[in-house]
Structure 1
Amino acid sequence: MRRVRIRSFLALSLLAVLTLSWTIYVIAAIGDAGALHLGEGRPSRAGVWIAALAGALLAAVFLGYGLRRWIARPLEAMGRSAREIAGGDLDVALPDSRIREIAEVRDGFEAMLAGLRQSLAEREALEEERRFFIGAIAHDLRTPLFALRGYLEGLEQGIAASPEQAKKYVAVCQDKAGQLDRLVSDLFAFVKTEYPRTARAGETLDLAEEVRRAVEGARGAAQAKEISIVAAPPGDEPNLISGDAHQLSRAFGNILENAVRHTPPRGSIVVRCRPEGDRVIVIVRDSGPGFDPEDLPRIFEPLYRGESSRSRDTGGAGLGLAIARRVFRAHGGDLTAANRPEGGAELRGWIPGSRV
């Protein structure tokens, strides 16, 4: 559809009015002069002006029709559409126009509608995720609570008659209390990473040193399974970043906890940290079974547990890797996962380097 600007439309309309009026005036004048030449009497100037006025009125009618059709009606339709949008109807059809300015307003409304539709879809998806999140957390909290309550009632009712049996009941209660503590801790960390406004406003850190500390923190759990866990030497180049040491410690802790949990006894975990271009990367490789190919695209989803690689029996809420990725992204980087060709899993994260 070819479009014209309002000023061009008005100029053409005015030109048409003047042309039509002048044409009628000239025709009337020529006719009056012909009548004089034939001896039919004196020319009537009033008749000429009446004809010219009639032509002007006719032209004005056509002009008003054009203004009504090409400008007023589209604007009225646009107003109705705007009211429908305000009423919540985002599927309203917007009118088109041959006038370029009106068409540009329409295109603006279309862009606004597209943005509103996208925002609404994202809000609905977020709300659905929140409902699922709350339901899953409630379920995971209820499971150890149910067991804890049962064992405590058994102790209260004297079911554990012998000291050995009572000790066993207490050990189970302690284990379930530990599960609850980990669930609440994971939930708190996950919610906190939803608002990473100040994540990168931290201090200058040596990422290799943060990784080394995380490895030392995971060494006890690894040794309990006779797993070798090693932090490869970082090399001579600096591994400096700007970030939040506490959040990064949490992220590395979650990654290593996941690796230890799914690495079989007498397996190995190797952690490397090195600069790569303007980034500092961290690679964690284990000798476990790796990720199920069907689970791999979803392992960073909150609360997702693959059948072969996640289990509620471990006490986790399926939030560890989701928290880790959020921390990396809050620092301007990212965290990805893959299976190694020779077997085992690999988690690779990166954060922009910091220049001192």
Structure 2
Amino acid sequence: MLTYIEGIFMGITSNYIPMQAVQALPPFLVVMAFLDVSCLFLAYWLSKRRTLSGLEPIEDAIEALGTGKAAYSLPKGTLANLSESVTRASDLIAKQNEARANWIAGISHDIRTPLTLIMGNAERIASDPSAPSDVSGRAALISAQSVKISNLFNDLNLASQLEYDMQPLHKAKAKPSKIVRKAVADTINACPETRYSYEMEIEQEAEKAAVECDERLLGRAIGNILQNSVTHNPQGCRIRIGLNATDEHVLITIEDDGAGAAGEGLLALLKSQEHASSTDENLDLRHGLGLQIASRVIRAHQGNLSFSAPVEGGFKTVVQLSRC
């Protein structure tokens, strides 16, 4: 018989554990372990989801910064510091873009008045019958180059506005057939030389097709494509314009049989549609700026523009727009 000091030891009523409790212990431990793992996984999933939901807009913002565009409305919370850093970088890029666009617009405005005076006086001298032939010839050259300078600044200004989404689109329902005809007529009037011939073919379905577009900007894009064929083929060429329509799209095809573009030149053009090309010593736009402006205008209309240059020569541009 064993005795214990009272107040120091506690007696147990039974030295036996029910068999039912022993049998239920392993399943109980398994269930508790499963619940613990589930709670940990749920906590991990919620934390990951919260982090990823905050990272997605930041990722989009960083991609936008990579293209030179500003990004705003970033999340706060656990990623507040990263969001603030991206926002500061975005603000800086926005200020730089605005300063660049304003600088180009300011230069274009400031140069317009003296350039107009130069062009007016040069045309007056060139058309003066009493002026010596060499003087009138030089005046005509000055007038032609002044027109190129004016067009260059207009193109740079438009390219800048399109690049930074500063050019509002005034969309309305319009027929591409009308826009193409006007662009061709303007090109012929601007360059009436007989060494350039134009052929136009418009399908019956395309004649009545309509698109939602800014008629002025779309006409400018088509005009740039036509002018590209004229500018880069001073020896003359044949320019063919085709207009076709499907159930969903309108296709405008402009191709010439001129010098075309070399393989490297075409590859550079395809890779650099986001960047403006420079001009040569005669202020003639290279395959680049005019077509890049056209590309940006088409993309602003959710369309597609593609270039190709066959080995045998010539240059082909296809514009695809959605019908409405």
Query: TM-score, normalised on structure 2?
Result: 0.62
Structure 2, gaps ≥5 residues long: 13-41, 71-92, 122-130
Distance 1:98 1:293, change over 3 A: same
Distance 1:275 1:174, change over 3 A: same
Shift of 1:233: 3.1
CA distance in 1, matches of 2:51, 2:292: 42
Question: Aligned runs of 1:223-242 on 2, under 5 Å?
Answer: 223-224=192-193, 226-237=195-206, 238-242=208-212
The match for 2:276 is: 303
Query: Does the 8 Å contact 1:208/1:273 carry over to 2?
Result: yes
The match for 1:214 is: 183
Q: Partner of 1:193: helix, strand, or coil?
A: helix
Match of 1:291 among 252, 261, 282: 261
What is the Cα-based RMSD across aligned positions, in Å?
A: 4.0
CA distance in 2, matches of 1:320, 1:42: 104
Query: Does the 8 Å contact 2:231/2:284 carry over to 1?
Result: no
The match for 2:150 is: 181
Structure 1, gaps ≥5 residues long: 1-36, 49-96, 153-161
Query: Does the 8 Å contact 1:208/1:274 carry over to 2?
Result: no
Question: Aligned runs of 1:11-26 on 2, under 5 Å?
Answer: none
CA distance in 2, matches of 1:212, 1:278: 22
Shift of 1:185: 1.6
Shift of 1:186: 1.2
Shift of 1:351: 0.9
Q: Partner of 1:247: helix, strand, or coil?
A: helix
Aligned residues with identical type, % of pairs: 22
Distance 1:47 1:121, change over 3 A: farther
CA distance in 2, matches of 1:233, 1:40: 113
Question: Aligned runs of 1:244-323 on 2, under 5 Å?
Answer: 244-263=214-233, 265-299=235-269, 300-304=273-277, 311-316=280-285, 318-323=288-293
Deviations 1:8-30 (A, max 9, x none): xxxxxxxxxxxxxxxxxxxxxxx
CA distance in 2, matches of 1:115, 1:242: 28
Distance 1:329 1:166, change over 3 A: same
User: Which amino acid counterpart does residue 147 of structure 2 have in structure 1?
Assistant: G
| Residue 87 of structure 2 is aligned to residue 123 of structure 1 | no
CA distance in 2, matches of 1:301, 1:130: 17
CA distance in 2, matches of 1:47, 1:174: 117
Query: Does the 8 Å contact 1:239/1:274 carry over to 2?
Result: no
Deviations 1:127-148 (A, max 9, x none): 999999989xx9xx99xx9xx9
CA distance in 2, matches of 1:212, 1:167: 35
Question: Aligned runs of 1:28-177 on 2, under 5 Å?
Answer: 38-42=2-6, 44=8, 99-108=44-53, 110-111=55-56, 114-115=59-60, 117-123=62-68, 163-177=132-146
CA distance in 1, matches of 2:204, 2:189: 26
Distance 1:312 1:207, change over 3 A: farther
Max radius of gyration: which structure?
Answer: 1
Shift of 1:330: 1.3
Q: Partner of 2:263: helix, strand, or coil?
A: coil
CA distance in 1, matches of 2:161, 2:51: 42
Match of 1:332 among 277, 297, 302: 302
Q: Partner of 1:332: helix, strand, or coil?
A: coil
Distance 1:47 1:164, change over 3 A: farther
The match for 2:213 is: 243
User: Which amino acid counterpart does residue 285 of structure 2 have in structure 1?
Assistant: G
CA distance in 2, matches of 1:314, 1:120: 32
Distance 1:240 1:272, change over 3 A: same
User: Which amino acid counterpart does residue 193 of structure 1 have in structure 2?
Assistant: L
Q: Partner of 1:189: helix, strand, or coil?
A: helix
Distance 1:196 1:330, change over 3 A: farther
Shift of 1:252: 1.0
Q: Partner of 2:313: helix, strand, or coil?
A: coil
CA distance in 2, matches of 1:255, 1:214: 10
Query: Does the 8 Å contact 1:182/1:315 carry over to 2?
Result: no
The match for 2:323 is: 353
Corresponding pairs, count: 248
Which range is displaced more, 214-223 or 273-282? 214-223
Shift of 1:222: 5.0
The match for 1:77 is: none
User: Which amino acid counterpart does residue 175 of structure 1 have in structure 2?
Assistant: A
Query: TM-score, normalised on structure 1?
Result: 0.57
Q: Partner of 1:224: helix, strand, or coil?
A: coil
Q: Partner of 1:295: helix, strand, or coil?
A: helix
Distance 1:130 1:283, change over 3 A: farther
Shift of 1:122: 3.4
